[in-house]
């Protein structure tokens, strides 16, 4: 790079700055498109689950619906309610957006493909996503609306409580990998499912489930969507927002979905790791990574359209009484496991396949139930005249 800069006759920092700028622009653009596509993804899935079609008019299969929605939102009047705290009101969407977009710096896209492999990647990610709390709290306070205030308060309480289980859930994997960097965490796992962190041993499995539950709560997704709770708080902290500001919230919410998916994939599901034979085809790893991420996103969407919502005290109970102690157990267990593993490395070969087998059995049971449902449901009815 240096030689290239010298040959052009410009300073090395200028070249670096330009490259950074290009990467940032690419990430943010990708981000926006991903979150747009995710809205389409979610709405189509929701449609299928609810015996309807979902958006299918704009573009092929309704794929461009999010563009139409965004254009509509941009053309709307930007309202600021009377008596609102204008500074807080205006600032909050951008804080939310930063909180959700900044993690993209350390999110990998495949084997070794990452914008910046910070050596404290996970720590950075956990801390920067906490900005969202500040954003929602500011929106709740600044809107001069009691419902928004309740939403903002709920959001703050919820995200602060769930930060801890989420961080604790990541610890066993970090302990195993011995690294806080995303690439380090990914490299510590193999390509095969039984080499993934999630299936490594019972403790990482628990940690994975805790992390997943906690991320749902942090991302304000059902069954933990209390800050937005449509049927209780109308729309929660973003009730008073319209136009572009609302679009930003919209963007942030679905980008957050991608962040959760990507983080889960990278830390627990082997990231984009390929078998030895396939490693020259690096683009396959991007494909694999996105596939896993979208699967996790699909699961989150699926949960959203299936489950009812918790109540605020039940939500707190879950975090403080169950997830937190469990995550300590998982952390401690993982430490003990690693001690034993150090003495008898063979245990590593055994627990992984067993855990994966258990997972497969659960999956089998699930498909069995689905098959029964399908068979029983095969009674068509037409009552129309």
Quick check: 90 binds other proteins (CB under 8 A)? no
Residue whose structure tokens are 């990610």: 125
Smallest gap from Cβ 55 to other proteins, in A, equals 16
Whether a cis peptide bond, with omega within 30° of 0, leads into 216 is no
Cα–Cα distance for residue pair 155/137, rounded to 1 Å = 7
Q: What radius of gyration do the chain's Cα atoms show?
A: 23
Asked if 377 interacts with other proteins (CB under 8 A), we say: yes
Least gap, CB of 376 to other proteins (angstroms): 6
User: Cβ 310 to other proteins, closest distance in Å?
Assistant: 6
H helix count then E strand count, the chain: 15, 2
Beta bridge partners of 108: 114
Closer residue to other proteins, CB minimum distance, 27 or 242: 242
The answer to whether 308 contacts other proteins (rule: CB under 8 A) is: yes
Rounded CA-CA distance 147/228 in Å is 10
The smaller minimum CB distance to other proteins, of residues 13 and 374, is found at 374
Smaller CB distance to other proteins: residue 342 or 379?
379
Q: What is the largest CA-CA distance in the chain?
A: 80
Q: Does 376 bind other proteins (CB under 8 A)?
A: yes
* Least gap, CB of 306 to other proteins (angstroms): 6
Q: How far is the CB of 369 from other proteins (least distance, A)?
A: 10
Which of 223, 227, 261, 270 is in the footprint of other proteins by CB under 8 A?
A: 223
Residues 6+ apart with CB under 8 A from 147: 233, 234, 235, 236, 239
Residue 135 near residue 152 (C-beta atoms within 8 A) = no
- Token pair, residue 208, equals 């994975």
214 binds other proteins, rule: CB under 8 A: no
Check the CA dihedral 58-64-69-70 and report its sign: negative
Site for other proteins in 313-372 (CB under 8 A): 313-314
**What is the distance between the alpha carbons of residues 258 and 264, in angstroms, rounded to a whole number?**
10
Closer to other proteins by CB, 119 or 306: give it: 306
Measured from the CB atom, the residue of 47 and 333 that comes closer to other proteins is 47
Burial (CB count within 10 angstroms: exposed 0-12, middle 13-18, buried 19+), residue 251: buried
Q: How far is the CB of 114 from other proteins (least distance, A)?
A: 36
Of 174-182, 202-210, 308-316, 348-356, the segment contacting other proteins by CB under 8 A is 308-316
Closest distance between other proteins and the C-beta of residue 59, in Å?
A: 25
Bridge partners (DSSP) of residue 113 are 110
Is residue 211 near other proteins by the rule CB under 8 A?
Answer: no
Number of other residues whose CB lies within 10 A of the CB of residue 26: 12
Minimum CB distance to other proteins, residue 364 (Å): 19
Q: Is residue 146 close enough to count as binding other proteins by CB under 8 A?
A: yes
Q: Which is nearer to other proteins, 155 or 285 (CB)?
A: 155
Whole-angstrom Cα distance, residue 152 to residue 134? 9
Kindly report the number of other CB atoms within 10 A of residue 266's CB atom.
Answer: 30
Beta carbon nearer to other proteins, 148 or 256? 148
Q: Which of 52, 276, 339, 344 binds other proteins (CB under 8 A)?
A: 52
* Residue 88 C-beta: closest distance to other proteins, Å: 19
Q: In this chain, which of 88, 132, 150, 171 binds other proteins, going by CB under 8 A?
A: 150
* Minimum CB distance to other proteins smaller for 69 or for 225: 225
The answer, yes or no, to whether the previous bond of 133 is cis (omega within 30 of 0) is no
Please give the residue ranges that form the binding site for other proteins (CB under 8 A): 46, 49-52, 146-147, 150, 153-154, 222-223, 225-226, 229-234, 305-314, 373, 376-377, 379-385
């Amino acid at each position: 790079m240096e030689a290239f800069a010298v040959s052009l006759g410009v300073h090395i920092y200028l070249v670096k700055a330009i490259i950074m700028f290009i990467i940032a622009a690419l990430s943010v653009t990708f981000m926006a498109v991903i979150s747009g596509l995710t809205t389409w993804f979610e709405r189509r899935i929701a449609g299928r689950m609810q015996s309807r079609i979902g958006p299918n008019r704009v573009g092929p299969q309704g794929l461009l619906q999010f563009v139409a929605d965004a254009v509509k939102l941009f053309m709307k009047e930007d309202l600021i309610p009377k008596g609102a705290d204008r500074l807080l009101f205006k600032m909050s969407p951008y804080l939310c957006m930063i909180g959700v977009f900044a993690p993209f710096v350390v999110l990998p896209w495949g084997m070794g493909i990452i914008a910046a492999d910070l050596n404290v990647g996970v720590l950075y990610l956990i801390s920067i996503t906490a900005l969202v709390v500040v954003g929602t709290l500011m929106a709740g306070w600044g809107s001069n609306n009691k419902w928004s205030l309740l939403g903002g308060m709920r959001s703050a309480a919820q995200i602060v409580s769930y930060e801890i289980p989420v961080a604790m859930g990541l610890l066993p994997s970090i302990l195993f990998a011995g690294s806080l960097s995303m690439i380090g965490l990914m490299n510590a796992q193999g390509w095969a499912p039984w080499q993934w962190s999630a299936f490594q041993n019972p403790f990482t499995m628990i940690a994975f489930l805790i992390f997943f539950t906690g991320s749902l709560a942090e991302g304000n997704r059902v069954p933990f969507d209390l800050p937005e709770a449509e049927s209780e708080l109308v729309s929660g902290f973003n009730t008073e927002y319209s136009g572009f500001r609302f679009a930003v919230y919209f963007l942030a919410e679905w980008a957050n979905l991608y962040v959760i998916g990507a983080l889960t994939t990278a830390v627990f599901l082997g990231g984009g790791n390929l078998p030895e034979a396939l490693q020259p085809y690096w683009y396959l790893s991007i494909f694999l990574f996105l596939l896993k991420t979208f699967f996790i996103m699909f699961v989150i969407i699926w949960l959203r359209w299936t489950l009812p919502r918790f109540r605020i005290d039940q939500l707190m109970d879950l975090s403080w009484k169950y997830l937190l102690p469990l995550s300590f157990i998982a952390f401690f267990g993982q430490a003990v496991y690693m001690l034993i593993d150090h003495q008898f490395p063979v245990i590593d070969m055994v627990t992984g396949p067993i855990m994966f087998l258990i997972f497969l059995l659960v999956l089998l049971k699930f498909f069995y139930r689905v098959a029964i449902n399908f068979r029983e449901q095969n009674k068509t009815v037409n009552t129309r005249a």
